Amino acid sequence: MPYTRASIHGDLTKLRSGASGLGNPACGLSITLPVNDALTTDQISHLIDAATDRPGDDPIFSLNSEAKARAAAGEDILNATIGALMEDDGRLCVMPAVFTAYASVPPTKAAAYAPIAGDPPFLRAVIEDTFGAPTSKPGTLSAHSVAVATAGGTGALHHAIVNFLDPGQALLTTEYFWTPYKIIANHTRRAVETFEMFDESGRFNLKAFEESLTWSISRQGRALVIFNFPCHNPTGYSLDDEEWAGVANIVREAGRQAPVAFLNDLAYARYGREGSESWIQHLDTMAETAVVLVAWSASKTFAQYGARIGALVALANDADERERIANAISFSCRGTWSNCNHLGLLAITELLTNAELRQRVDAERAGLIRDLGARVEVFNREAEALGLVYPRYEGGFFVSLFTPDAELTAATMRAEGVYIVPMKGAVRVALCSTPTPAIPRLVAALKRGIDAAVDAARASGDTTSK
Ligand SMILES: Cc1ncc(COP(=O)(O)O)c(C=O)c1O
């Protein structure tokens, strides 16, 4: 009988435990596994069990590839899957001032290794970009913060997960979330738990958040919360001031029970509506008992997805704790990518600290935000006219629409050449990559896709689908 992976695993376990009668390998007995000519590579893998069945491609990138292949074959395809800001003519939006900053970096500096934690001027600039200068009112937060440079916001999330959760523990996030949270967690032997994101009135579900956080703490003795506001991916939702105040109180109270780290992923924050940075006013409250983390990223902020520049900022009131955190997250840099892209770090520092360049890049971003805002307006108008149900959407790259069967909705839309991303209970639409004139087609396809799912649910006896 040929060996299968399972039978080899079973035999090894028996041998190691001594149950085979051969004894414990640690006592010096040498063990030779039976050689079997029938052992073939399609039956066993050299990978560890956890790694054998991993998907090689991100589902969103797979959908994008399919959409591109159909477009290349001549079909009229509308691809609203990809989370990068595109011009109406399909070109990637860029900010020219960023390239002026790149050009200003001396080659001998760009080519040298960056310090492991990132250049101190970069770290200072990122902290002040997040919380304001130490002399300003919210700037006291800056004075209580440390940071390291990371490979994009993704790197910051990784470092938070491995330093604020033990293996086997779960981070807590909203029921709709950016799926790489789960990939990073699984890859590092952690998990993801979620709570219901919206209440019956469509507002952020503070009660569900509080209950889940309490449960997390009672089960694992600590908690790492990951939020992504303003401009949440995938729903597009931004918390208002009242919701932030509620969140801050809940985090402060939870922090009295156990170590709590609250991370806000700022991937799309620069694209929020005016006033959406008011969340910072609530950090004092959280920081009374909790550590506040920020995943800062240049990817969307400077339309530099490929530069892989980000930072993990940690706000902690206690100086000793700050030092421990700074050491731990710097250690994680060394234990993963060592040093970040130095040209990118130096150019982004220039953009954040050189007054003239900063003014230019801010103006360029304002133009992009205006264009995206115009799309959001058209979308809201068209979607409301067709009675589509979705969370409050005031800006940002994405919006999600509820459906009883996301796969069926997506398949119905793909049949008419429109690509969106199905998730559990909703589909994600990337307005950032949808040309403004194509929005009416997108919304009409959404309507048909969601109607198909509702009809199917009704036919199967689900009376809750509207
Ligand atoms: C919600 C969210 N967080 C974090 C990231 C990380 O982006 P990056 O690693 O490019 O900074 C993304 C990118 O798409 C995102 O959508």
Q: What pLDDT is attached to residue 42? A: 59
H or E element: which one contains 289?
none
Cα(289) to ligand 1 centroid in Å equals 27
* Burial of residue 8, with CB atoms counted within 10 A of its CB: 0-12 exposed, 13-18 middle, 19 or more buried: middle
Cα(102) to ligand 1 centroid in Å equals 22
CA–CA dist 379, 401 (Å, integer): 12
Residue nearest to atom 15 of ligand 1 (CA): 267
CA–CA dist 423, 402 (Å, integer): 10
Q: What pLDDT is attached to residue 76? A: 95
Q: What pLDDT is attached to residue 60? A: 82
Tell me which of 174, 265, 304 to substitute to probe ligand 1's pocket, judged by most ligand atoms within 8 Å of the beta carbon.
265
For the chain, residues with pLDDT lower than 50 are 1-32
Tell me which of 61, 154, 293 to substitute to probe ligand 1's pocket, judged by most ligand atoms within 8 Å of the beta carbon.
154
| Domains of the chain, each with CATH number or no CATH | 5-52 (no CATH), 59-84+358-459 (3.90.1150.10), 96-353 (3.40.640.10)
What are the tens digits of pLDDT across the range 183-211? 999 999 999 999 999 999 999 999 999 99
What are the tens digits of pLDDT across the range 138-160? 568 999 999 999 999 999 999 99
Q: What pLDDT is attached to residue 7? A: 42
Is the Cβ–Cβ distance between 163 and 332 less than 8 Å?
yes
Q: What pLDDT is attached to residue 230? A: 95
Tell me which of 126, 178, 181, 264 to substitute to probe ligand 1's pocket, judged by most ligand atoms within 8 Å of the beta carbon.
178
pTM of the model: 0.90
Strand order across the 170-174 sheet? 145-150, 310-315, 291-297, 260-265, 223-227, 170-174, 191-195
Residue nearest to atom 7 of ligand 1 (CA): 153
Residues linked to residue 194 through DSSP beta bridges, in sequence order: 173
Q: What pLDDT is attached to residue 40? A: 57
Pocket of ligand 1 (CB under 6 A): 83, 152-154, 178, 228, 233, 265, 267, 297, 299, 305, 310
Cα(267) to ligand 1 centroid in Å equals 5
